[in-house]
Amino acid sequence: MILLLLLFLTSCVSGTFVVNVTQTSYQAEENQNITLEWTFSSRTDTSIHYIFIFCELFTETRPYLLFHLNEGVESPESQDPQFAGRVQWDKDVLTEGRLTLHVSRLRTSDSGFYVCDILVIPDGSNSRRCWLSVTAAEELEPQRPESPQAESWTGVWVTVGVLAAVLVFFVVCILLVCIPRYKRRTYNAAVQMVSLSEKQTIRINMSPSESEHEVKLSNI
């Protein structure tokens, strides 16, 4: 009632008192924070005790009281429960002609027109509105669980990979063991062939008596 009476008493000078919004529309996502700002004409010697502010949110259903300042003192008890604990204001810049409202943890129900009626005694009163649109936050798509068939194929490929690794390991071991043995056998066979050929050559060059002597010696 006091605010309405003051508005009526200052209506004669309200034409010289100007209220504006820094933005006519805002857009944000759910759970974000936002700052709504109004400016108004104010003298340098204006006291905060002569400032009255009444801010509301108008939706399709009904209005909600966002912020109430009475003689420079905030009245949180008159605030709508929807905005309880979510609205902060800058007291230092109010006497400079700026009203900044910080709304935190936005909800989709916060969408609508925000209207602030500002009264400064004895300068006058006026109001301006801005639009806020709050969209729902994008939810991450849950990861789809792998199908049992995909899991079974994964197990098969793992098993095949392990078996292939074991097979390669055994092949390498066998090659490392067999190749040296094969080389040794080949070398021994070559040596034996060389020795036999030398013996045959010696026998061919020997006389009959020497060969008979060799046969006797061999028999002995």
Q: Does residue 133 carry a pLDDT above 70? A: yes
Rounded to an integer, the average pLDDT of 56-80 is 94
Strand positions, DSSP E, the chain: 19-21, 25-29, 34-40, 51-58, 63-70, 73-74, 87-89, 98-103, 112-120, 124-135
Q: Does residue 15 carry a pLDDT above 90? A: no
Q: Does residue 1 carry a pLDDT above 60? A: no
Give residue limits of the domains in the chain: 2-135, 160-206
Of 43, 38, 37, the C-alpha closest to 16 is 43
**pLDDT tens digits for 74-95?**
999 999 999 999 999 999 999 9
What pLDDT score was predicted for residue 2? Answer: 45
What pLDDT score was predicted for residue 218? Answer: 47
* 212 against 122, higher pLDDT: 122
| Mean predicted lDDT score pLDDT of the chain | 79
Helix (H/G/I), strand (E/B), else coil: 15: helix
Length of the chain in residues, anyone? 220
- Alpha-carbon distance values, 153 to 5, 94, 150, 163, 167 (Å): 80, 69, 5, 15, 21
**pLDDT tens digits for 144-194?**
555 556 556 677 777 878 788 878 776 777 777 666 666 667 666 655 665
Q: Which CATH number fits domain 2-135: 2.60.40.10, 3.40.50.300, 3.40.630.30, 3.40.50.1110?
A: 2.60.40.10
Pick the range with the lowest mean pLDDT from 30-44, 108-122, 166-180, 185-199. 185-199
Q: Does residue 213 carry a pLDDT above 60? A: no
Pick the range with the lowest mean pLDDT from 27-31, 53-57, 88-92, 157-161. 157-161
Highest mean predicted confidence (pLDDT) among 10-19, 26-35, 45-54, 158-167: 26-35
- Residue 145 CB: number of other CB atoms within 10 A? 8
Terminal CA-CA length for the chain: 148
Q: What is the pTM of this model?
A: 0.58
